[in-house]
Amino acid sequence: MTDPRILIVGAGPAGIRAAETLVAAGLRPVVVDEGARAGGQIYRRPPEGFTRPPEVLYGPEAPKARALHGVFDRLVAEGRVEHLPQSAVLGFSTAGAHVTGPQGSRVIAHDQLILATGATDRLAPVPGWQAPGVYSLGATQIALKAQGVALGQRVVLMGSGPLLTLVAYQMLGAGAVVEAVLDTAPLSAQIAALPAMFARPALALRGLSMRARLGRRYHAGVTLHEIETDVRGPVAVRWSSASGRGKRSLCDTVGMGWHLRAETQLAGLAGAEFDHSEIWAQWLPRTDRLGRLRPGVYLAGDGLRILGADGAEVAGRLAAAACLADMGRPAPEIAADLARLARLERFAQGLARAFPWPAAMVRSLPDTAVVCRCEGVTAGTLRATVDHGGADANRVKSLGRIGMGRCQGRFCQLAAAELIAAHAGTDPAQVGRLRDQAPVRPVLAGALARSGGSG
């Protein structure tokens, strides 16, 4: 009997722990990852030749980063996983997963599939956000960590979520100029969520201490009005304080984001059903506790539940355990990881309540505001499309092109659903989720033509 062919998509904390668990059971998975070096986004590694140690790059999380990188590098060096870096799965057919990478395109046949596709920033539009020099919060952190650069000379960071405080703290530590940190979450919501966040007391205290370092730059409960721009990009952010006072922060760069959005396109193409989660204000795939979509397909990490890196490590092990059990192989004990998962979920739900999706801000966007950065579709166009086409996300996409651009709706879909719902007097869950379309990444025609063999 030949060994089962197992494909893992993503080499962040979830993908790495899933691979490690399968290797421990004597299997040799294939790991496809878009990064040049394994680690994912939070534990992203700079290119070869960079010299800052993990302690500088990852702060108190450095031991976890070192451990994950070490585990994966050892598995690759010993030939116990096949690692395909800088490669993306574009979609699936009966032949297998269609993968594109430096060697061109190939089809990877597999018996078992573990999707550990992670998350991106969850974005809400602010008038002016389509200008060059406006970035996601994650982008400002990646620039700092993986390239040693600030994306501008004077930065305003805005949005909400744990990354807002973390990025501001890291940028200040690296010597960047941060003009203001504008949090749309009211202080009252943050205080109400504190008990849940003390499910992880050390982490909660670390967040509060980082917040303290931001000093008077940090403002809670703000209302964001506009990113003022000239031809080069941002010149200022206009906002109001919690007490309603109008403010203007000069800047040449903006980093923005509202916590995270699960990356779920491949899960959708693999047959996942989705539920709209009110607390996370997004659609999340439906699986069992271990991440089992059905026997043979498993999800793990932030692409399934937004628990962050620690939760992703746990979810990676659980998905691999489910995979082993379904193949009738001895699976590791899961009770301890299930208990960890429950505690991490309590904390994560506290975070979600402390730093909510800015529904009211999105609903009141002016008609002139761009919602889709790819194709410049405005809130007004979107509302007009709802007027003559109805309040269905996929219909609005067909008629109004929202979500049809190069990012395939990753950065506008949630705001669009909110706007559609507001305009039609319903809620985002009723508006529906955009259908997933392969290829989930744009691909050069040349790369498709340069097709290698199947594997």
- The residues that bridge with 332 in the sheet, in sequence order, are none
To another protein, the closest distance from the beta carbon of 263 in angstroms equals 7
Taking the complex as a whole, the smallest distance from the CB of residue 195 to another protein amounts, in Å, to 33
How far is the C-alpha of 20 from the C-alpha of 165, rounded, in Å? 32
CB of 397 to another protein, least distance (A): 17
Place of tokens 């299930």: 338
Task: Please tell me whether residue 352 binds another protein under the rule CB under 8 A.
Answer: no
Residues 46, 91, 296, 389: which binds another protein (CB under 8 A)?
46
Interaction of residue 103 with another protein, rule CB under 8 A: no
> Does 130 participate in binding another protein (rule CB under 8 A)?
yes
According to the binding rule CB under 8 A, does residue 151 interact with another protein? yes
Q: Which stretch binds another protein (CB under 8 A): 143-151, 195-203, 277-285, 309-317?
A: 143-151
CA–CA gap between residue 140 and residue 119 (Å, rounded): 16
Distances in Å between the alpha carbon of 324 and those of 17, 24, 111, 115, 327?
A: 14, 11, 12, 15, 5
Q: Which residues partner with 6 through β-bridges?
A: 112
Q: Is 370 in the site for another protein (CB under 8 A)?
A: yes
Among 106, 410, 423, 433, binds another protein (CB under 8 A): 410
Torsion of CA 121, 124, 128, 134, to 10 degrees: -10
Q: CA-to-CA distance for 247 and 217, rounded, in angstroms? A: 13
440: left (phi over 0), alpha (psi -120 to 50) or beta: alpha
Q: For residue 181, give every residue at least 6 positions away whose Cβ sits within 8 Å of its Cβ, in sequence order, or none.
A: 156, 157, 158, 164, 165, 168, 214, 217, 218, 219
State yes or no: residue 87 binds another protein (CB under 8 A). Answer: no
Minimum CB separation of residue 37 from another protein in Å reads 12
Stretch that binds another protein, among 188-196, 214-222, 226-234, 279-287 (CB under 8 A): 226-234
Residue from 86, 277, 430, 437 binding another protein (CB under 8 A)? 86
When asked if residue 446 is in the footprint of another protein (CB under 8 A), the reply is yes
Per rule CB under 8 A, is residue 449 in the interface with another protein? no
Confirm or reject binding of residue 439 to another protein (CB under 8 A).
no
d(CA 151, CA 143): 7
CB of 81 to another protein, least distance (A): 22
Of the residues 20, 34, 310, 418, which one makes contact with another protein according to CB under 8 A: 34
Answer yes or no whether residue 436 interacts with another protein by CB under 8 A: no
Question: Measured between alpha carbons, how far is 345 from 294 in angstroms, rounded to an integer?
Answer: 22
115 sits near another protein (criterion: CB under 8 A): no
Task: Look up residue 215 and give its DSSP letter.
Answer: G
Report the nearest approach of another protein to the CB of residue 131 (Å): 8
User: Computed from CA positions of residues 10, 13, 14, 17, in that sequence, does the dihedral angle turn out positive or negative?
Assistant: positive
Which position among 149, 191, 279, 360 is part of the footprint of another protein (CB under 8 A)? 149
Residue from 20, 179, 252, 436 touching another protein (CB under 8 A): that is: 252
Tell me which of 100, 112, 136, 160 binds another protein, using CB under 8 A. Answer: 136
Q: Which of 13, 18, 31, 41 binds another protein (CB under 8 A)?
A: 41
Identify which range of 206-214, 355-363, 422-430, 437-445 contacts another protein by CB under 8 A.
437-445
Report the relative pairing of strands 154-160 and 177-183 from DSSP bridges.
parallel
Cα 405 from chain centroid? 19
Would you list the DSSP string of 347-391? HHHHHHHHS---HHHHHT--TTSEEETTTTEEHHHHHHHHHHH-S
120 binds another protein (CB under 8 A): yes
Cis ω for the linkage preceding 439 (within 30 of 0): yes
Q: Does residue 179 interact with another protein by CB under 8 A?
A: no
Which residues 6+ apart lie within 8 Å of 15 measured at CB? Answer: 8, 9, 31, 33, 38, 40, 114, 116, 300, 301, 316
Interface contacts to another protein, rule CB under 8 A: 34, 36, 41, 46-52, 86, 88, 120-121, 130-136, 138-139, 142-144, 147-153, 174-176, 231-233, 252-253, 263, 370, 373-376, 406-407, 410-411, 441-442, 444, 446
